[in-house]
Amino acid sequence: MEWLLSPSNAGIIDFPTYLLGTIFTILFPGPNSLYVLTVTTQKGWRAGSWAALGIFIGDSILMLGVALGAASLLASSPVIFNVVRSLGALYLAWLGIGLLQGGRLRWSGVQERSDQLAVKASLIDHLHPLLAALALSLTNPKAIFFFVSFFSQFIQPDFAHPIHTFLYLACVLQLMSMSYLTGLICIGQIFLRFFTEHPRWAAVLWIVVGFLLLAFALHLLL
């Protein structure tokens, strides 16, 4: 068992550097982490947990797709890549507009009940957090190429089972990613009561995240 868990036996080069790079990659704010944090402050830790699970499933599918050659398919077919990229950008923009709408309504005090955090008019409120997060993860084709370029730096070229190495690196990244998302859920839960009592601060958060998602959508198309 120890032999299987050893990075060197899995064909990994410079595992400490990989861990450091993974930490910096995960800590850099992106659409996935922003969505988990926002939905937790909106609906609580259960919704945040569903969103984190959606991110986990989506990233796992992308990583498995890379291992099976999906990256080669996208690289060889610009049409498919552009279609997926456009869908991802549209979905990010849709989420961003939903957050902007919810933030505007919060700022103006439009809520069904004064003690209710969720804004029913918001577009993103119509999706289950797991489905919304899953779609958010899967509609980012650049993530596939990131996994390829990042993982390939730490795989021994002459290793007999590169898929084994890739899956090892993917599992480590997923464990660290889920630990980080768990921390975001805890932070969001802490601020849940504060945002309930101060809806205008919640409005500011939603508007800021909404603009960030729109910026990510624009970046995805560039």
Cβ-proximal residues to 35 (8 Å cutoff; 6+ apart), any chain: 51, 55, 95, 132, 133, 136
- Does some domain include residue 1? no
The whole-chain average pLDDT of the chain stands at 77
- What is the CB-side half-sphere exposure of residue 209 using CA atoms within 13 A? 27
pLDDT at 94: 79
- Does some domain include residue 2? no
Average pLDDT (60-88) is 74
- Between 77 and 96, name the one with better pLDDT: 96
Q: Following DSSP, what letter does each residue of 124-176 receive, concatenated?
A: GGGS-HHHHHHHHHHT-HHHHHHHHHHHHTTB-TT-S-HHHHHHHHHHHHHHH
- Between 10 and 31, name the one with better pLDDT: 31
Choose the most confident range, by mean pLDDT, from 19-28, 63-72, 118-127, 181-190.
181-190
- Does some domain include residue 9? no
- Does some domain include residue 52? yes
- Between 187 and 98, name the one with better pLDDT: 187
Smallest CA-to-CA distance from 99 within 179, 217, 191 is with 217
d(CA 131, CA 136): 8
27: helix, strand or coil: helix
pLDDT in tens, 87-125: 777 877 877 887 787 777 767 765 444 334 444 445 556
Q: What percent of the chain has pLDDT over 90?
A: 13
- Does some domain include residue 8? no
Among the ranges given (22-31, 37-46, 131-140, 197-206), the one the predictor scored with the smallest mean pLDDT = 197-206
Burial class (CB in 10 A: 0-12, 13-18, 19+), 41: buried
- Does some domain include residue 6? no
Structural domain count of the chain? 1
Say what the pTM is: 0.72
- Does some domain include residue 161? yes
Contact 37, 187 (CB under 8 A): yes
The boundaries of the domain holding residue 74 are 14-221
- Does some domain include residue 115? yes
Contact 95, 35 (CB under 8 A): yes
- pLDDT at 198 > cutoff 90: no
